[in-house]
Amino acid sequence: MAKEVWTVRQLVAHLTSLVTKDPKSQSLRVEGEISNFTHHASGHMYFTLKDESARMRVVFFARFARYLLFKPKNGDRVTIRGQLDVYDRDGQVQIRALEMRNSGQGDLFTRFQSLKEQLEKEGVFQREKLPLPSHPKRIGLITSPYGAAVRDIITTLQRRYPQANVLLYPVQVQGDVAAWEISQAIEEMNRRVEVDVLIVGRGGGSIEELWAFNEEMVVRSIANSTIPIISAVGHETDTTLSDFAADVRAATPTAAAELAVPNQEDLKMRFSSLASRLALLPKKLLDSRRTEVNRLIERPIFQHPNRRLIPHQEKFQYLTKRLNQGLAANYSREERRLERFIHQLESRQPRTQVTNAKAKLERISREKDFLFQQSLEQKEKQFERLVTRLESVSPLAVMKRGYSLVYRLSGNKLVTSAEQVNPGDLIDVQLAEGKLKCQVWKKEEET
């Protein structure tokens, strides 16, 4: 008996019939972790629901998704209520979600958050970012040599800026050794210093497929790089720790290539514009100077220059008159000053000084003789007065009037009282002229 041969369409229809007729598949609840999340502009959500050993595609149409109370993202652990469905085009069984609630974060997302917090505390993400070179000569590319990302990057670089050379360092971008190879490639490129900028990344994928770019060794290698690094991992909605550590984060690998080099067409247009401006610059400058000269010529000062000169001429004449008067007065003053200097100079000549000194010496000598004679006469008169005064009080003058001095012969003592002598004593009597030697024969007491 010949076996029936089905068409693909018939097989998919049969599969759909089996799925839709099973009551369990039409009302089920599934818990898992979100990955490869895409929120379409139409409002529909597409993602993969996975656990440790399996995964399944999920579609969440906008008419149901608009009632969500949270914003889904990769790594969220969710519980979905929905129905199994078969996507006719691909013959793929998927879940058509009717309701979704957040039931916690997945293991990978937990690891992601923990490492992110650790590196943030260490300041790995806060380091000073390096600027990208404006016209790089060589660009380093660290990615898989087989993926679509490397083709997109190289094609974009050659289209935008073919002058730059591209140095590809092939690595695995997912798997057990991917993180180690990426880290070693970054460090090797830094040691060799052969490129001006590095692009590190890969195409899109699930959080598991992108996990190598969340490994600590890769993040630290990017942060320690002395060459500017552009992170180009996944699509715009994908975020890895490498994006935080890199100097620049690109939404896609193609965007990374656009950030790394300028567009040669833009440069050509700019050079053309500058050349045109440079060609027009001399003419514009000449026209500007010509207009300025014409404007200056039309000013009244150049039309009637004498009008501006008249007040200055009057001021010049006035100042000239004051200058002449000042010069004349200054000349007279300096002339008188010169005459005084000449007179002082003549008076200070040696011959004149000697003559003046002789005359002064003679005058001083005459004055000295006069003063000496005058002083001598004064002293003589004074001496005579003193002698007269002395004679008036001299004992000799008194004695000339009849008085005498009596001395005891023994001891030659002056006798002033009768009690000092006795009858029979010998005495000397000093007269004004001469001396008498006598003997007391009697004494009388004064009554």
pLDDT digits (tens, 9 = 90+) for 143-199: 999 988 899 999 999 999 999 999 999 999 998 899 999 999 999 999 999 999 999
For domain 8-105, the CATH architecture is Beta Barrel (2.40)
More confident residue, 183 or 361: 183
Q: Name the band, by pLDDT with cuts 50, 70 and 90, for residue 2.
A: low
Q: Looking at per-residue confidence, does 169 or 273 come out higher?
A: 169
Higher-confidence position of 208 and 262: 262
pLDDT at 413: 82
User: What local confidence, expressed as pLDDT, does residue 173 receive?
Assistant: 93
Rounded distance between C-alpha atoms, residue 388 and residue 396, angstroms: 13
124: Cα within 13 Å, side-chain hemisphere: 24
pLDDT at 283: 77
Residue 447: which pLDDT band, with cuts at 50, 70 and 90? low
Residues pairing with 101 in the sheet: 79
Closest alpha carbon to 95 in 157, 161, 48, 163? 48
Class of domain 111-262: alpha beta
pLDDT at 412: 75
Instruction: Give the H/E segment covering residue 43.
Output: none
**Cβ contacts of residue 329 below 8 Å, gap of 6+?**
none
pLDDT band at 430 (very low <50, low <70, confident <90, very high): confident
- Per-residue pLDDT, averaged over 11-30, amounts to 83
| Mean pLDDT value of segment 262-271 | 78
Average pLDDT over residues 71-79: 88
What is the model's pTM? 0.49
Host H or E run for residue 392 = helix 350-392
E strand segments, 163-252:
165-170, 197-202, 229-233, 248-249
8 A C-beta contact, residue 396 and residue 404: no
- Confidence (pLDDT) at 406: 86
CA distance 55 to 33: 9
Q: What is the pLDDT of residue 318?
A: 86
pLDDT of 207 higher than 60 = yes
d(CA 94, CA 84): 6
CA dihedral of residues 180, 183, 184, 186 (deg, nearest 10): 160
Cα first-last separation, the chain: 216
- Per-residue pLDDT, 105: 57
Question: Which secondary structure element, helix H or strand E, spans residue 440, and what is its range?
Answer: none
Of residues 173 and 105, more confidence is placed in 173
Give tens-digit pLDDT for 295-330: 877 777 666 667 767 777 778 888 888 888 888 888
User: pLDDT of 369-425, one tens digit each?
Assistant: 888 888 888 988 898 888 888 777 777 777 777 778 888 877 678 888 888 788 888
Indicate if the pLDDT at residue 361 is higher than 80: yes
Res. 254: pLDDT tops 80: yes
Q: Where are the alpha helices (DSSP H) in 298-349?
A: 300-303, 305-347
pLDDT at residue 104, rounded to an integer: 62
